[in-house]
Amino acid sequence: MPEPLLSVVIPVGPEEPDIPQGLIEDLHLLPEGSEIILVGCDPIEQAVLKEQTDQVMNAYPVYWLFTAPDRGIQMNTGAAHASGQFIWFLHLDSRFSPALIDALLANLSRYPNSLHYCLLEFMSDGPSSMPLNSLGANLRSLLLGVPFGDQGFLIKKEKFNLVGGYPESVAYGEDHLFVWYARQNRVPLKCCWQKLRTSARKYERKGWLSLTLLYQRLWIKQAWPEFIRLLRTRYF
């Protein structure tokens, strides 16, 4: 059986009760031969989700794995079982278009050794100020080279192994740290100039200003020591 081009890895958290229908529809846009790996953390509670994906995703191989409820562990486990040449890490609330798939595949062909990410757009299910968050995330990615996991990291499997995977059992920011590890290992970043949409519901629940300020404080605090390590790998 030929090696698939793309393995899509999606962690499923303990408080995510279903697979959004929109994501299921979008996954049918994947190139032929792709595989989908969902990594849950409760085989009993999430048995219904497994049955749901088995029924609707018959166009692609769908695999379920279960680990401890830790996003880094879940994504590393999915990557370890991936048979594709490239791994695309998505969130359960991600949405994407045919144009995004075309742009990603074009980038993979031209820049196979890069860490690819997409522009971010928040859905309209959150506060009215979310376009500012989308703008800030995209400027941070393009100007500072710091995309986050909801921008859909896509990387060649051998490069993922070179980087060492996601950090596990960290308090937050395993996706943010993974980007720094990639840069420290001289894996270049490449933007896909298409928007990956993601839910803004948590900003509605927790408050736009308080959550926005919290995220800014946390990522800057986490970024500083990694930036120093990056400088040392480049100049010392």
Q: What tens digit of pLDDT does each residue of 136-160 get? A: 999 999 999 999 999 999 999 999 9
Mean pLDDT of 105-123: 97
Please tell me the predicted confidence (pLDDT) of residue 206. 93
Rg from Cα positions in the chain: 17
Please tell me the predicted confidence (pLDDT) of residue 45. 67
Phi, psi values for residue 227, rounded to 5°: -65, -40
pLDDT over threshold 80, residue 56: no
Domain segments of the chain as ranges: 6-235
Phi, psi values for residue 18, rounded to 5°: -150, 165
The CATH number assigned to the domain with range 6-235 reads 3.90.550.10
pTM, entire model: 0.95
Q: What tens digit of pLDDT does each residue of 20-34 get? A: 888 989 999 999 889
* CB neighbourhood size of 178 (10 A): 25
